[in-house]
Structure 1
């Protein structure tokens, strides 16, 4: 394992998750996603029957509004374990996360998995894509990711 590269990827992932936090009065910084990704990056929500594929702009703008207009408060999302593989100028991470908050007055807490792909660019390591699915009935987190 390339420990220097792994540390850089750890930092990118931490910045990604923190970008959405508005817990304890923290101001979300969703726009940092533009710096973490290549310009052509995509983010995919695959929690329902059909995936929803977002460009960076399509993903950032509604979340910025949601996290700052009072609809979603006390929100925090954090990685709880991961598996990262690096091969030359490409890398992949399977990330187990937990998220919680209050959406439209209703408290929630859930876990899920994100698959994250990275490439090495002239400006360093960047995300090229992220896709996620939340745990729900019939879709449970494999134990091997809980025990890391």
Structure 2
């Protein structure tokens, strides 16, 4: 019993040290809304074969955060899936590395009240930085919380652009 308690304490201390190291390593990535959104896009982006920094991804998101992709299934029913950042890493992480994937923001609308923010962020996706035309576009609805000195993603809810649902001009870059 005593050995189990000691093991649990050592494990807890290790997690605490890891959290402190990540805070020191990544604190600049989440100091502002702008840096947090930039890190959010950068952490999933990379060339084929390039590993992603999943510790940074876990740092950006609140521990109870959800990623919520939405869309229409083949039967025409609109729905959404609710996944954790860890589930995203497990289900999509390898695909991102094997195929190459870059998501970049092309327009942003931000609203802030106190310690909460809502960012409506239009994105486009490429398989490589050298690609000229995106293979996908859409809008991310991102909710953030300022914890005092850092912003964390609470939820990210998104929809891809389709022929039936094009991105409105108001959410595209102004030429």
Could you say which structure has the higher helix fraction? Answer: 2
2:80 aligns with: 51
Are 1:81 and 1:96, in contact at CA under 8 Å, matched by a contact in 2? yes
> Does 2:133 align with 1:133?
no
C-alpha displacement at 1:24, in angstroms? 7.0
1:110 aligns with: 136
2:110 aligns with: 84
After superposition, the C-alpha distances for 1:82-132 in whole angstroms (9 at most, x for unaligned) are 000110011000000000228xxxx96111000000012256211100011
Could you say which structure has the higher strand fraction? Answer: 1
Superposition TM-score, scaled by structure 2 size: 0.70
> Does 2:37 align with 1:41?
no
Superposition TM-score, scaled by structure 1 size: 0.81
Count of aligned pairs: 135
Distance in 1 of aligned mates of 2:134 and 2:124:
11
Are 2:69 and 2:81, in contact at CA under 8 Å, matched by a contact in 1? yes
Are 1:17 and 1:79, in contact at CA under 8 Å, matched by a contact in 2? yes
Q: Bigger radius of gyration, 1 or 2? A: 2
Distance in 2 of aligned mates of 1:123 and 1:62:
31
Alignment partner of 1:19: what SS?
helix
Distance in 2 of aligned mates of 1:108 and 1:144:
19
Distance in 2 of aligned mates of 1:30 and 1:136:
29
Q: Mind listing any 5+ residue stretches in structure 1 that lack a counterpart?
A: 1-6
**Partner residue of 2:35 out of 4, 11, 14:** 11
2:147 aligns with: 121
